Structure 1
Amino acid sequence: MQNNYTYDVAMFRDTFETRFTYLNGFMRNVSRFKTRPAMTDPLSGRRWTYEELNIEANRLAHALRASGVGKNDVVMFTLLNSPEFVFCYLAAHKVGAIACPVNYRQGAGEIALVIDDSCPKAFLYDAEFGELSAGALNMCQHKPGAVVMVDYKGGAQVPKGHILYKDYVSGQSEDDPPVDFHPHIYDETTRLYTSGTTSRPKGVPVNNVNEVLSAHDVMMHFPLGPTDRTMNMTPWFHRGGIHSGGPCPTLYAGGEVVILRDFSPKRCLEYAEKYKISFLIGVPTIIAMLARAQERAHADLSALRGIVTMGAPFEKAACERYLQLLTPNIFNGYGTTETFWNTFLRPFDLPDMAGSAGRSCTDDDVRLVALHEDGTHAEPDEMVPRDGMTAGEIIISSPAKSAFCYFNNPEMTAQKFYKGWLYTGDVGTWDENEFVTVSGRKDDMIVSAGENIYPTQIEAVLNEHPKVAESAVIGIPDKLRGEVVAAYVVPSDDSLSVAELKDYCMHSPMLSSYKWPREYHIVNELPHTATGKLMHYKLRQQAQK
């Protein structure tokens, strides 16, 4: 094909495609900010400069190389927010590998599925998840070559065949490892798993340019710069954890990451005051708890430049309360694991537009398209009226932050991506100024405390119980979590009890604790269509009555 360029593009193309990488951005900061703080761990009292953080990442990178980890290999880790999480993230970039943080709130069986899907060469886990990780490693078919335990508290027993992190990196070089692979902006650098509509998880590839431009997006929208200190109050294994004020954008911007190992409202306020945090990031349920704690604590939050939330919109009354209690600068984003955040409410939009999801981010396109009764995709230009009333499916085009596919899952890729758009399955409306309001979901997904839960996975587990003929799972309103799981079960044996069901779910390796039903109802029948499909919306209507 003949090129119609008006100039010689060769040097620009080759330079851009091989050097516009996340690692190069981090290394620029190591050079220009080497004595400035990059990361603080309040629990241990440790603080790393950019130079010191680079040394720690180098030691792990050399250890991984010694384990045979190289270009396109997977480094999987089940870690709480911790220094080692950041070391893993950076070290993978340094050896051309793929960093794959895993949701430690899953069951062992779910993690085993992820291990078998990605086949990591190295698997690192927190000693607090020793039993969970051992269960997953026993259940999976693929066996990682290196299994490393991070013992944050000290004193844990190292299982046979595993190695303690400090021993794994002991004696390794502190120098930058050689870049003996061909870097490219399309290289996958991070892989995040999001819940599937079946028991199979979906791997979301994030490439080099996605990492860089996700960082740029945050730097532009907060805005975030070298003088900022961020503390993400959610787990970093989420897209909103690692990319929204987490290690990715903060270290690319030259700022400082303050580690919150796990969430406590009181501790968050103490850290925010002590370390003069400029940006706090969390889901709305966390912000609600933070506000209640602030009413009692009256912490000095004068250094805060903003609080950023994702996962659900604020109601206007709650927003007004947080503006008074916490900060006048609240940001609210909406998005997906596949595309990061894609609509945004800035402080000047609030509280007037509270309750909406905002309008599209600077480099993104968000549309609402027609809902087809036969379930097929509407064309991207088949948009519903911007009248604030007509329901449509929310679709997203985010070329800067999405690779437009799933790893090793062509069926789901074809189902969710079409003509450069992600079809979210979320249903909503938009107004004349393109402010989007989310009203529900096509696929009946439940969102509980920021976690996506698919009913079909829980139903599959319940239906395996020997006394269960059929089950249906829906989300019901909950003041703290937004929604919780309720299970409706048709028994095949009249002796079935709620206590049995609770015990069964609590001990299922396929269900993490946040997926356990909070309510159980034993019923005679469930609503179906003429073709025998469960009608979850009918069940929700009945539950409301």
Structure 2
Amino acid sequence: MLESKPWLDVYPEEIPATLEYSSDPVQSCLQKSAEKFPEKSAIHFMGKEWTYKQLYEDALNFAGYLQGTLAISKGDRVAIMLPNTPQAVISYFAILLAGGIVVQTNPLYTERELEYQMKDSGAKAIITLDILYPRVSKVMPKTELQHIIVTAIKDFLPFPKNLVYPFIQKKQYGIVVKVKHEGNNHLLTEILKSNPQKVTAYNSDAEEDVALLQYTGGTTGSPKGVMLTHKNLIANTEMSEKWLYKCKPGEGSVLGIIPFFHVYGMTTVMILSIKMAYKMILLPKFDALTTLKTIEKQRPTLFPGAPTIYIGLLNHPDMKKYDLSSIEACISGSAPLPIEVQQKFEEVTGGQLVEGYGLTEASPVTHSNFLWDAPKVKGSIGVPYPDTDAKILSMDTSEPIPIGEIGEIVVKGPQIMKGYWNRPEDTKEVLRDGWLYTGDLGYMDEQGYFYVVDRKKDMIIAGGFNIYPREIEEVLYEHPDVLEAVAAGIPDPYRGETVKAYIVLKEGSRITADEINEYARKYLAAYKAPRLYEFRPELPKTAVGKILRRMLVEEEIQKIEEESKKHA
């Protein structure tokens, strides 16, 4: 039974089992780094750099404007709808300094999605890009939004890129948006040029005060606002810092591709970088060639990412032309990391790439493989972080089950959310006696390493057999012609569900579905092997590169419904 913590026996001696956590709010990380490393570079963005002193001064200036001119007070929600840019970092810390709660918003949201999130959160103001202004302004009258703060990518680019970029933007998006600094519209450049207003300090309670409303993806229903406190975020950041014990404050740099509007990028790139006084090398979106060039030129030491990012780099035709040897450590999250991808990336960089695990509701990291000085188990999500407990419960009885058996992963620790915003019933469903019921299926081995087999909702039941998509995907990824693969259960009148594989082939491949099927059946039991295959040029993904299996299933259901209407 899973009553002990066997994983503590495999911890390297440098990682303590329990930590003393700071009771300071998240924004104190920036203040402390600015005091200790004022002239150190905090951000590199497309050739321009900001020191910690500059970053803190800009955040303070903006915080004063939020408090003074926009009347933002403690607990007010302020949304950020930006890609990874200096403005996103400045805005995040400014909101917290002003006493507000950050609402992270995906810049790809449609009007409908944006309206839902603004209504649900009750945000009073939003910081967004000029090209997104038309979308936000249409939504504004239907929500509690009172102010729109507008910025542009060009505003923070070096000369002459700042002059060239508007032409590139017009060609790419077909629009030029001009907003004046008046009324309910505010320009960030004007705010930062204005005379700083005094920031009024407020009483903070790191344990109780919410720092962030982070909305879950909504793949299984309406998105819910996860309430993460200052303590949640600080605890998870400090756990991550201990995990990276070979990394010294003020001596490293982090490649920031994972979006900050996703909690994984926000914690493991933005807050961790600020806390450790590292340089953040920001890229507003993932492009394989740009990323390869950036790594060679800027030489980042840490590279948190997602499997699709590492796959994209490994399969770029010019990958071998670039020096990636600066990378010392990568923790992959957001989706399962194929073993083949892990091995190849480590060969190319000479650094360590390990799989971790987490959820929005856990700030987000709960488990990771060790980077150094301890066993790294391929195919495993690793072991729980310091002060993090985890166990496997029976799906039928919710009782602990023996080692090696599959059940639901539940976790507990100081990084676990306060609850869902305005959703007490949903909170009760997933938070029980301090334990977070993840909805993920997995098992633990005798050493305390955990393995995720799939989400409870993604498990395929075909002909009475339980089939886990990840097991199928691991086999498909090992095929030399497969670039990306996802398996899903689609409705079947005889078996209940049947397994379908969606595959993106590597460039130039001519392999057929029959050949892939023959290969899969060598390594999978007959009931697990896909019955159907579909080749696609690309797979639907979230902004962080997680493949949207549910979207593929919904497409299949729609096809079946349309077909049945024809024959009705």
2:138 and 2:217 map into 1 onto residues whose CA distance is 20
Cα displacement string for residues 431-469 of structure 1 (whole angstroms, at most 9, x for unaligned residues): 111222211222339999xxxx9x9xxx9xxxxxxxxxx
The SS at the match of 1:425 is strand
1:403 and 1:297 map into 2 onto residues whose CA distance is 42
The SS at the match of 1:113 is helix
Residue among 397, 401, 407 paired with 1:384: 401
Alignment check: 8 A CA contact 1:22 1:252 kept: no
Residues 247 and 132 (structure 1 numbering): CA distance in 2 closer, same or farther, change over 3 Å?
A: same
Q: Pairwise mapping of residues 83-482 of structure 1 onto structure 2 (< 5 A)?
A: 83-137=86-140, 141-153=142-154, 154=166, 156-158=177-179, 163-166=185-188, 168-174=190-196, 177-179=199-201, 181-185=202-206, 186-196=208-218, 199-223=221-245, 224=247, 225-244=249-268, 246-293=269-316, 296-339=319-362, 340-348=364-372, 353-372=377-396, 378=398, 382-387=399-404, 390-399=405-414, 401-444=415-458, 477-479=501-503
1:165 and 1:100 map into 2 onto residues whose CA distance is 19
Deviation of 1:479 (Å): 4.4
What's the % identity of the aligned pairs? 22
Residues 176 and 128 (structure 1 numbering): CA distance in 2 closer, same or farther, change over 3 Å?
A: same
Letter in 2 for 1:34: P
* Residue matched to 1:530: none
- Could you tell me which runs of 5 or more consecutive residues in structure 2 were left unpaired when the two chains were aligned: 1-19, 155-165, 167-175, 460-468, 474-485, 506-539, 541-546
Deviation of 1:55 (Å): 1.4
Larger RCO, structures 1/2 (Cα 8 Å, 6+ apart) = 2
Deviation of 1:345 (Å): 1.2
Mean Cα deviation higher: 106-115 or 439-448: 439-448
- Could you tell me which runs of 5 or more consecutive residues in structure 1 were left unpaired when the two chains were aligned: 1-15, 460-471, 482-505, 507-512, 528-545
Alignment check: 8 A CA contact 2:263 2:360 kept: yes
Mean Cα deviation higher: 316-325 or 129-138: 129-138
2:275 and 2:499 map into 1 onto residues whose CA distance is 38
1:417 and 1:268 map into 2 onto residues whose CA distance is 39
Cα displacement string for residues 336-365 of structure 1 (whole angstroms, at most 9, x for unaligned residues): 001011111123599962212112122211
TM-score by length of 2: 0.72
TM-score by length of 1: 0.74
Cα displacement string for residues 349-398 of structure 1 (whole angstroms, at most 9, x for unaligned residues): 999622121121222112111111xxxx71xxx211112xx210011112
Is 1:25 matched up with 2:39?
Answer: no
Deviation of 1:182 (Å): 0.9
Alignment check: 8 A CA contact 1:429 1:438 kept: yes
1:242 and 1:89 map into 2 onto residues whose CA distance is 10
Residues 434 and 137 (structure 1 numbering): CA distance in 2 closer, same or farther, change over 3 Å?
A: same
Q: CA RMSD in A?
A: 3.4
The SS at the match of 1:281 is coil
Mean Cα deviation higher: 439-448 or 329-338: 439-448
Is 1:53 matched up with 2:55?
Answer: yes
1:294 and 1:213 map into 2 onto residues whose CA distance is 41
Residues 198 and 411 (structure 1 numbering): CA distance in 2 closer, same or farther, change over 3 Å?
A: farther
Residue among 60, 71, 77 paired with 2:80: 77
Deviation of 1:211 (Å): 2.2
Mean Cα deviation higher: 203-212 or 221-230: 221-230
Cα displacement string for residues 22-54 of structure 1 (whole angstroms, at most 9, x for unaligned residues): 222321211111111111111xx3211111111
1:336 and 1:211 map into 2 onto residues whose CA distance is 13
1:293 and 1:322 map into 2 onto residues whose CA distance is 12
Letter in 2 for 1:62: G
Letter in 2 for 1:184: D
1:148 and 1:329 map into 2 onto residues whose CA distance is 40
* Residue matched to 1:12: none
Alignment check: 8 A CA contact 2:149 2:188 kept: no
Cα displacement string for residues 58-93 of structure 1 (whole angstroms, at most 9, x for unaligned residues): 221122111010111111011111111111111012
* Residue matched to 2:559: 522
Residues 409 and 119 (structure 1 numbering): CA distance in 2 closer, same or farther, change over 3 Å?
A: same
Alignment check: 8 A CA contact 1:231 1:279 kept: yes
